[in-house]
Amino acid sequence: MCVRSVPRASIPSGFDSSASMKGPSIPSVDVRKEGISGETSLSNGSLDGGSSFPPPPEKKLPGGCGFSPGARSWRMDARPRMDTGAPSPAKVAVEKEGKRKRGSKKVSAGNYGGYYGFRFGESEDDPRVDALQEEWVRGKRVLDVGCNEGRVTLRVAKKFQTKFILGIDVDGKLVQKARKNLWEARKSCKKARLETDDADVKPLEEVSFSSQDIDELELSEGIDTILCLSVIKWIQLKKGDEGVKRTFRKFERWLPAGGWLVLEPQPWLSYRQAFRKGQVDSSQLVPLDQLRFRPKDFVAYLTQDLAFRLVREIRDQGQGNKSFVRPIYVFQKQ
């Protein structure tokens, strides 16, 4: 059968010349009126016969890459990310989450969660422990005042093989973390027992932690060394000038002649900053204008009013957050 072509001038109105001769033309769809986004085509989802549906959403991948399910190849939405030395997005997210958690809890005694990470970063070392001398700590009975999560306590116990060491803190939750860290340290040491000397395990068996206020603490046996690192400020802000002097008098009473006091006081500027920190409940602190006993007066009080003599002042502690570089004073009971 032959088909005679129809002259263009004689094509009736309404007849679609592009349509197949097998059937009538199908009206086009106005996507703006129908509420369908995107172009209607076979490549993005038009059905045979002219019905159409919206294209599937495009999935985005990190780094500017995208892959469309209907496509056959990858494409790049942006140039590759250059290494500028800045922290990765994942690390930034972790730091932000840490700050959020720290800020969600109001503290009033310096009981910050994640304190060591903020002060020393990712380092497992504490330069204050490295600054201690064998004579002050090795084989001694030690009290760690304001132990936080117990990192210093455990490092001192293992490095200097203390006879025993007790860490105290007013925050029961931090003490629970310290006990968990102790359990993990013991487990790690015992696991490596075949490769290490038994002395590395034994000192950790004489470590304990207790949730105690310094005013309520009474020791059942004598001690040789007291560590009081970056905690005196909080005792003073909670208990006033007399609270600090009372604590120093307790140290004098607990230590025998020849005993050691390792003291790291915070500078006065740090007292002022405590009232500006959003995570500190300043309503529970003693106002600064009521404090007359300043950190610069501590050495004179300990050596003139109490029976201590200053043996060493340590200023260079090496690594860590520079805002935490503070002098450490080592006293011996006379």
Residue 140 near residue 157, CB atoms below 8 Å: no
Read off the pLDDT of residues 243-285 as tens digits, 9 standing for 90 and up: 999 999 999 999 999 999 999 999 999 898 888 766 678 888 9
The rounded mean pLDDT for the chain is 74
Read off the pLDDT of residues 185-235 as tens digits, 9 standing for 90 and up: 988 877 766 665 655 566 688 999 999 999 999 888 899 999 999 999 999
User: Which of the given ranges, 6-20, 76-90, 158-172, 196-210, has the highest pLDDT on average?
Assistant: 158-172
Distant-in-sequence, close-in-space partners of 278: CB < 8 Å, separation ≥ 6: 103
Confidence at residue 93, expressed as pLDDT on a 0 to 100 scale: 55
* Distance (Å, whole) CA 55 – CA 68: 10
Confidence at residue 193, expressed as pLDDT on a 0 to 100 scale: 64
Distant-in-sequence, close-in-space partners of 175: CB < 8 Å, separation ≥ 6: 147, 167, 169, 209, 210, 211
In the predicted structure, residue 100 carries a pLDDT above the cut 80: no
**pLDDT class of 181 with cuts at 50, 70, 90:** very high
pTM assigned to the model: 0.64
Nearest to 224, CA basis, from 260, 263, 253, 262? 260
Q: Is 172 helix (H, G, I), strand (E, B) or coil?
A: helix
